[in-house]
Amino acid sequence: MRESFKENLFRVSTFFDESNAFAAVRQGLVMLIPLIVIGSISLMIKSLPIPAYQKALESFCNGKILEILNYIYSGTFQIFSLALAVTTSVSYAMLNQKSKTDREIVSDCTILAILTLTSLVGHIGIQFDNFSITQLGTINTFTAIFIALISSWLYFKIRDTRLLHINRLETDVDGMYYNAVQSIIPAAIVIIIFAVANQLFQIFFKVDSVQECLEIAVDAFLELFEIKALAGIATLFLTHLLWFFGFHGGNIIDVVVKENFAVIDSAEIYSKSFQDVFTIFGGCGSVLGLVIAILLFSKKRSMKNVAKLALPSVIFNISEVITFGLPIIYNPIFFIPFIIVPFMNYVVSYAAIFFGLVPNIVQKVEWTSPIILSGYQATESVAGSILQIVCLLMDVLIYLPFVRLFEEHSDKQMIKKVNLLVKELQSEEDANNITSLINRDDSLGGVARRMANDLKSAIKSKQLFLLFQPQVNCNDVCIGAEALIRWVHPIVGFVYPPLIIQLAKEMNMLNELEHYLFDEAAKAIADIQKEIDREFKISVNITNVSLMSDDFESTIANCVDKYKISRDKLWLEITEQEALSSSIDIADKIENLKKKGHKFLIDDFGMGHTSLLYLQTNHFEIVKLDGSLTKNIIENKRDADIIKSIIFLGESLNFTTVAEFVENREQRDKLKDLGVDAFQGYFYSKPIRLDEFILWMKQHL
């Protein structure tokens, strides 16, 4: 039963994660975090409920500091809905324009942002005399998200019908002008639709906006509850339901709450002050308990970083940083505790006051007052603070199992996305057109950045290691091995090796990585020498990044000297594509290393024009046949003919051929008949650890 519930929860979470509409709202809210943090800091500083502090703040610098804080707060939270509409529509445009150029995306985002703003300010009544700037603040977040999503969806649907289409090939205008003209009719239709909808609201509902409609519905719902305590629970539920979907619940129904529960009545326990003081520690969802649960028990650094960032604001009951950043909104895993925790705080606190364990609230307290202080001020008793602490401990315990569930789901999503990232990289490898992974704007870019950051830590802590895949000659005698890089990620497991190299390149850590691997390979050679008293070699893969490094030669020399190994046992392997970009300086380095005794292999060798050019140089003494040739040699006669031609050239030009991906006896025998000199593949052995390789080598002398 528990597993079934968990799987269903994960399935719903995945749906939310993969929905463009929900993703647009999430990203739009995340973009507003800087605005929220700045506004929150100013609000915390100016609202600290200590009379002496407030008096000093009002008089300090003739009140100019307070004016500055009010300026910052007004410039952030009082345009919140306006900013949210823009960020949501821009996010939606970016999520729906992946196949377009950067310039086209910028153009669409700009046009859609302007279109959304036009629809929003018209809908909330900028044209009326009673319009107030406060309507652009948090009170209209529901309207902002609603209009941003509808206008974005309509815009792209209408534009895709190509009502006004100009053949770009028949014009000489720039891209921005072309996109702007193409958007005239879609933009006009969207604005007209919202203008008509606004009139329909006035005719049928006698209201001017969606927000007023919502307030009337909430007011009617609360009138169903004659008992004030039950109405309080209903208010709490509605507030958090709205919050969960990204709407600023507290402010959206603020008018209704103030009308019904603003006055503190000694005969009643529930009031707005009761809710602020005893039910929502840390803001909506009582997320202070969640932040503490993460900081104390989470195993994920990324989650702890978000919790640390959110902690200062949640202490003052400002929850946006954690709800948008974790996120909690549109996250079904946190829906249950997000609703239950405030409800449990309500029940426990109501009972404590009802049975006289804690005095009833006697005075209003600013909602930004931190926990413990607010409990004491509201009740004028230490018992109020103790009650808050008890509730907070309960909140931590309730949130804890859901933190574990969220981590588990996050791990599964990461594994899924890394697999998709590997597929993307493999397709780009096949097309020989590898693009930056960490600079992608989609979810795969996010997981690439996380993997790159984890790789950086893994390199520094030397978590990467080498496996060795044996190579044998035609007499089945082991002549050495190829050293292969491996990384076991704590979540993903074994990581696709080319992904390791690509991320290291993009993080400018390839030199550091390869230097570490040279050292490991040299150490392995020294260990093998102690056990095997005959000739062998270990080949290590290198890239042009290493070859271009100024200290490349000295690094290899230091490794050789450090472990006192013979230079002819450390071979250097470079792929054909890397070799193709070699400069004169790199060619000189190759020759210098060859003179010192190292040998070079060219990997993934084919029969293209550029491949043959490299046979004219003396850089490479061994070529490793392209795996695509050796894999299909039994079924594909053409591949066999190509390999035969390479072997013929090898005999005449005096270089050795090695076949990789040898997986069965029939394939090995065919390659052997063609004249291949050495073999490597699962027919002989998978890549194995050093101690296993030494034992394997002893058995194949």
Task: For residues 187 and 282, state if they share a domain.
Answer: no
Task: For residues 189 and 282, state if they share a domain.
Answer: no
Asked, for residue 458, whether it belongs to a domain, the answer is no
Task: For residues 82 and 185, state if they share a domain.
Answer: yes
Instruction: Identify the burial level of 585 via C-beta atoms within 10 angstroms of its C-beta, where 0-12 means exposed, 13-18 middle and 19 or more buried.
Output: exposed
What pLDDT, on the 0 to 100 scale, is given for residue 687? 93
Q: Among the three residues 144, 173, 207, which one is the final residue of a domain in this structure?
A: 207
pLDDT at 610 over 50: no
What pLDDT, on the 0 to 100 scale, is given for residue 92? 87
Helix (H) or strand (E) holding 231: helix 228-244
Residue 658 has φ and ψ, to the nearest 5°, of -125, 135
Task: For residues 114 and 255, state if they share a domain.
Answer: no
Q: Phi-psi category of 465—alpha, beta or left, where left has phi over 0 and alpha has psi -120 to 50?
A: beta
H helix and E strand count, the chain: 33, 10
What DSSP line would sit under 347-409, residue for residue? HHHHHHHHTTSSPPP-S---TTPPTTHHHHHHHTSHHHHHHHHHHHHHHHHHHHHHHHHHHHH
Q: Which of 422, 438, 440 is nearest to 497 (CA)?
A: 422
DSSP 485: E
Q: Could you tell me the pTM of the whole model?
A: 0.74
DSSP 135: G
What pLDDT, on the 0 to 100 scale, is given for residue 386? 95
Among 17-26, 251-260, 293-302, the least confident range: 251-260
Q: Among the three residues 416, 442, 477, which one is the final residue of a domain in this structure?
A: 416
What pLDDT, on the 0 to 100 scale, is given for residue 101? 61
Q: What is the mean pLDDT of residues 558-564?
A: 90
Task: For residues 512 and 651, state if they share a domain.
Answer: yes
Task: For residues 251 and 135, state if they share a domain.
Answer: no
pLDDT at 593 over 90: no
How confident is the model over 388-423, as pLDDT tens digits? 999 999 999 999 999 999 999 889 889 999 999 999
Asked, for residue 153, whether it belongs to a domain, the answer is yes
Cis peptide before 327 (omega within 30 of 0): yes
CA separation for the pair 121, 115 (Å, rounded): 10
Task: For residues 199 and 227, state if they share a domain.
Answer: no
- Name which residue leads in pLDDT, 272 or 379: 379
Asked, for residue 12, whether it belongs to a domain, the answer is no
Q: How many domains does the chain fold into?
A: 3
What is each CA distance from 422 to 18, 265, 418, 487, in whole angstroms? 19, 63, 6, 14
Among 138-142, 249-253, 336-340, the least confident range: 249-253
Task: Work out the percent of the chain whose per-residue pLDDT is above 90.
Answer: 23
Q: What is the CATH number of the domain that holds 527?
A: 3.20.20.450
CA separation for the pair 387, 352 (Å, rounded): 8
Task: For residues 143 and 274, state if they share a domain.
Answer: no
Q: What is the mean pLDDT of residues 204-214?
A: 72
Asked, for residue 425, whether it belongs to a domain, the answer is no
pLDDT at 171 over 50: no
Q: pLDDT-derived band of residue 576, with 50, 70 and 90 as boundaries?
A: low
Looking at the DSSP bridge assignments, the partners of residue 467 are 484
Asked, for residue 421, whether it belongs to a domain, the answer is no
Task: For residues 399 and 257, state if they share a domain.
Answer: yes
| Assigned token pair, 521 | 């390979």
Asked, for residue 554, whether it belongs to a domain, the answer is yes
Where helices occur in 124-227 by DSSP H, the ranges are 141-160, 175-182, 184-200, 210-222
What is each CA distance from 148 to 113, 153, 405, in whole angstroms? 8, 9, 32
| Residue 601: domain span | 469-486+496-699
Q: What is the mean pLDDT of residues 634-650?
A: 83
Task: For residues 237 and 100, state if they share a domain.
Answer: no
- Where is mean pLDDT largest: 103-117, 199-213, 505-519? 505-519
Find where tokens 């941003």 sit.
148
Q: Among the three residues 148, 179, 207, which one is the final residue of a domain in this structure?
A: 207
Q: What is the mean pLDDT of residues 507-511?
A: 86
What DSSP line would sit under 31-57, residue for residue? HTHHHHHHHHHHHHHHH---HHHHHHH
pLDDT at 578 over 70: no
| Assigned token pair, 25 | 């709202």
Asked, for residue 20, whether it belongs to a domain, the answer is no
Asked, for residue 214, whether it belongs to a domain, the answer is no
Q: What is the mean pLDDT of residues 428-454?
A: 82
Among 8-12, 36-40, 507-511, 581-585, the least confident range: 581-585
Task: For residues 229 and 366, state if they share a domain.
Answer: yes
CA separation for the pair 270, 232 (Å, rounded): 7
Task: For residues 289 and 143, state if they share a domain.
Answer: no
What pLDDT, on the 0 to 100 scale, is given for residue 261? 66
Q: What is the rounded (10 degree) CA torsion for 550, 553, 554, 557?
A: 170
Q: What is the average pLDDT score of the chain?
A: 83
pLDDT at 273 over 90: no
How confident is the model over 43-56, as pLDDT tens digits? 878 877 778 888 88
| Assigned token pair, 374 | 């607010």
> Are the CB atoms for 105 and 175 separated by under 8 Å?
no
What pLDDT, on the 0 to 100 scale, is given for residue 401? 94
What pLDDT, on the 0 to 100 scale, is given for residue 549? 79
> Are the CB atoms for 4 and 406 separated by under 8 Å?
no
